[in-house]
Amino acid sequence: MDFYIDENDRVDGRDKVTGKAKYFAEYQVPGLTYGVLVTSTITKGKIVSLDTKSATNAPGVLAVISHLNKPSVAAYEQKEGSAFKIFYTDEIFFNGQPIAIVVADTFERATYAASLVKVGYQKAEFNTDFEKSVGNANARKLQGQPPYIRGKADAYKTAEVKIEQVYTMPIETHNPMELHGMIADWRANDQVQLYAKTQGVASTQMTISRTFNIPKENIKVNAEFVGGGFGMALKTWPLEIATVMASKQLKRPVKLVITRDQMFTMVGNRPAAHQKIGLGATKDGRITGITHIAFGQSAVYENFTEGVVNMSKFMYQSENVNTNYFVVPLDLSVPIWMRGPGEATGAFALESAIDEMAHALNMDPLEFRIKNDPEKDQVQDRPFSSKYIKEAYRLGAEKIGWKNRKSVPGSINEGNWQVGYGVSVGVFNAGRGRATVKGILKADGTLVLQSAVTDIGPGTGTGMTLIASKALDIPVDKITFELGDSSLPPAPSQGGSATLSTVGTAVSEVCAALKSTIAELAVNANMDATSNFVAVLKKNNLPTVEVTKQSNPNTEAKNYAMYSFSIHFVQVKVHQSTGMVKVSKIVSVGDSGKIVSPKTARSQMVGGAVGGLGMALMEESLLDHRYGRYINNNFADYHVPVHADVPEIDVIFIDKPDYIVNPMGAKGMGEIALIGFAGAVANAVFNATGKRIRSLPITPDKVLKA
């Protein structure tokens, strides 16, 4: 079958849809063995007995590794870092904690043998109830971020108009189709080949190097294709250390792919949050005070913090702002960043409160936001590098039909459905880091670009190819971008909406250097400086020209506040009899600089909207606090949006370059695609029904009860 490839199509699209693309678990390594984890069935306590005899004697079993026979791991012997070091303690920190790994010659045999391991425990009292802990003054709480005060604290309390509300959200679990795991192949002379699900091959390489005390040059990490990182693959987890540990001991390659239920306990989650927002304003709609106090879930053995209160500090004009953020350690596995880390959580509370204040003032929510839109970042006291949020408001409002919205909730009915409109804002840093790219121009008319960056789905290779194509005037089908291999020039982990800005800058600089080199070669060969590079290389009898460039953060950036912005508009329909909420229309507007790759950029915004639907209406990891155990740890009971839940999504880009951020004028987009979306849905539900739901997800029972 022939494929037609448009210049804006994903460069890896054909490989993905035909199955040529290999994900970590698909690599066939000679002599491959299979690992299966044995996990704790209690939530807190100690292991007092571990009987592995039956498992060890089962057919095909090569090893059963636990704290009783653990191999030496350099970093663990030093007892630094997290209290939970896999197989190095008899202590249980959370239900589902890995306590042994069974390795066998087939996956089926390893699975069966793991079921034969018998464990005796000494149980201890535990606490997994986040909301109960937040309300308990005696429950342990830690400072998650230093308190911030600008002007007067709690100024909202003396305002002409004020609101004070609490907003909550549950644990959300990363649930990509691809399960987490690793293939580890520890070879002779401490040479290690890893096939990993990671958002940063360099990060994984460095972690394994430090943990096992071997040179990082000995470790090669491959992650050419990653099936959804979501943020969980920004960390090398204990389960991956266990896989490397087993391979080192056996001197054979070991593959470990965790199960769906283990995804709920071993690779982090978006932590539960409890947020109190206080807003004060004058009667004519000027904000006079913002207070944002947040609590987030963490683990007793390792602390996790994120930027929950960041957006509240600068998004709206106010002389008086104070924030505080605490974490509540629980007997659960440690959380991790999830798309829109921290800011997505904080935006739900802030943007719901902004909508509540607009209603209290009898103002249009758009008008209220525009009236309080700041001209500069009040935290950094700097101008924005670029900001077209007012234009985004206008374009989105026109597209969604905001003029049809009624200020009185519950005014629009279509049969048994109540119709409402909501809006919310998203914002995230638009920075640029350090990355290195090698460019190889060949006399056959092709260009190869190389960088160790990974691609978790946004289309990194496509974006880099389009940057190079424009810079060098080379057709995209003549350009190859090699990535996801730690032996390539170093690049940071993919996360925080910084990859295109960071690596793209290095690509841009490589292309500029290649053009300069070709021009110089042309002049030296008595050719026109603008001659075709193929002719120049042939004239100079050169098969290739290579250039390597490292990009760095822009020194001019220190004078500006750099952010990407999004405006999410939604129309919802709420069924009066059942409380069912259906999002019937979505318009997402991205103010994220110049759009380098229109097709993949739109996909990012669509993906964020779909994730936002899940956050707003269905995603919730449920715990039975009697046992500290998840009860919906599967795809049947943990609900995520399906095709039937997703309406047509209109995506609009402002598409104006910001050359302060990088030479392409582009800014990050992955995070703002989701940040703020849940607030827009909650605000639309209120406009439809007059019922304010302040606890996510917005399920039918909450709508009927409100």
Shared domain for 453 and 337, answered yes or no, is no
Residue 646 lies in a domain: yes
Cα torsion 211, 214, 216, 219: sign: negative
End-to-end CA distance of the chain: 56
Cβ neighbours of residue 496 closer than 8 Å, sequence gap 6 or more: 341, 428, 429, 431, 668, 671
Q: What is the pLDDT of residue 6?
A: 60
Last residue of a domain, one of 259, 283, 308: 259
| 86: CB partners within 8 A, 6+ apart | 98, 238, 239, 241, 242, 245
Instruction: Go through 162-193 and write b for each residue having 16 or more CB atoms within 10 A of its CB, e for each that does not.
Output: bbebebbbbbbbbbbebbbbbbbbbeeeeebb
**Could you tell me if 490 and 452 are in contact, meaning their C-beta atoms sit under 8 angstroms apart?**
yes
- What is the spatial distance between Cα 445 and Cα 451, in angstroms, rounded to a whole number? 20
Counting as low any pLDDT under 50, the low residues of the chain are: 1-5
Looking at the structure, tell me whether residues 186 and 233 fall in a common domain. yes
Task: Determine the Cα–Cα distance for residues 246 and 64; give it in Å rounded to an integer.
Answer: 9
Cα–Cα dist 257/7, whole Å: 36
* Residue 555, C-beta contacts closer than 8 angstroms, at least 6 positions apart: none
Cα radius of gyration (the chain): 27
As given in the structure block, the two tokens for residue 317 are 């004009």
Residues 407 and 464 in one domain: no
| Coil, helix or strand at residue 248 | helix
Cα of 451 vs its chain's centroid, Å: 21
- Domain presence at residue 170: no
| β 581-591/623-624 pair status | unpaired
- Whether residue 36 is found in the same domain as residue 183: yes
Residues 545 and 620 occupy one common structural domain = no
Residues 390, 321, single domain; the answer is yes
Of 207, 226, 259, the last residue of a domain is 259
pLDDT at 556: 86
671 catalytic per annotation: yes
For residues 37 and 42, give the distance between their C-alpha atoms in angstroms, rounded to a whole number: 15
Do residues 244 and 209 both lie within one domain? yes
pTM above 0.85, yes or no: yes
Coil, helix or strand at residue 465 = helix
Residue 542, C-beta contacts closer than 8 angstroms, at least 6 positions apart? 443, 521
Are 404 and 502 in a shared domain?
no
Q: Please indicate, yes or no, if residue 133 is contained in any of the structural domains.
A: no
pLDDT for residue 689:
98
Query: In this structure, are residues 594 and 662 in contact, taking their beta carbons and an 8 Å threshold?
Result: no
Q: Which of 399, 381, 389, 386 is nearest to 425 (CA)?
A: 389
CB 469 within 8 A of CB 518: no
Residue 37 in domain:
yes
| Full domain range(s) for residue 48 | 15-124+176-259
pLDDT at residue 7, as a whole number? 62
Q: Tell me whether residue 142 is in a domain.
A: no
> Which residues make beta-bridge pairs with 411?
none
Q: Would you say residue 264 lies in a domain?
A: no
pLDDT value of residue 1: 36
Non-local (6+) Cβ contacts of 480 within 8 A are 446, 447, 448, 449
Which residue of the set 306, 343, 351, 671 is catalytic?
Answer: 671
Total structural domains in the chain?
A: 3
| CB-based contact 169:397 (threshold 8 Å) | no
- Given the structure tokens 């250039």, which residue do they identify? 547
Q: From CA 231, how far away is CA 514, in angstroms rounded?
A: 35
At residue 263, the pLDDT reads 97
What pLDDT shows up at residue 566?
98
Return the axis-axis angle of helices 238-250 and 201-212, rounded to nearest 10°: 60
HSE, CB side, 13 Å, CA atoms: give it for residue 428: 29
Same domain membership, residue 400 and residue 450 = no
Which residues are bridge partners to 74 per DSSP?
A: none
In the prediction, which pLDDT does 8 show? 72
Domain check: are 566 and 427 in the same one? yes
Q: What angle do CA 308, 429, 660 make, to 5 degrees?
A: 165
Residue 363 lies in a domain: yes
CATH number of the domain encompassing residue 95: 3.90.1170.50
The answer on 627 and 571 residing in a single domain is: yes
Q: Rounded to 5 degrees, what angle do the CA atoms 548, 549, 555 make?
A: 175
Percent of the chain's residues with pLDDT above 90: 95
Under DSSP, the state recorded for 384 is B
The domain that contains 620 carries what CATH number? 3.30.365.10
Close Cβ partners of 408 (under 8 Å, ≥ 6 residues apart): none
- 410 and 384 inside one domain: yes
Last residue of a domain, one of 496, 524, 552: 552
Q: How do strand 181-186 and strand 161-169 relate by DSSP bridges?
A: unpaired
The answer as to whether 7 is a domain residue is no
Return d(Cα 597, Cα 467) in angstroms, integer.
Answer: 9
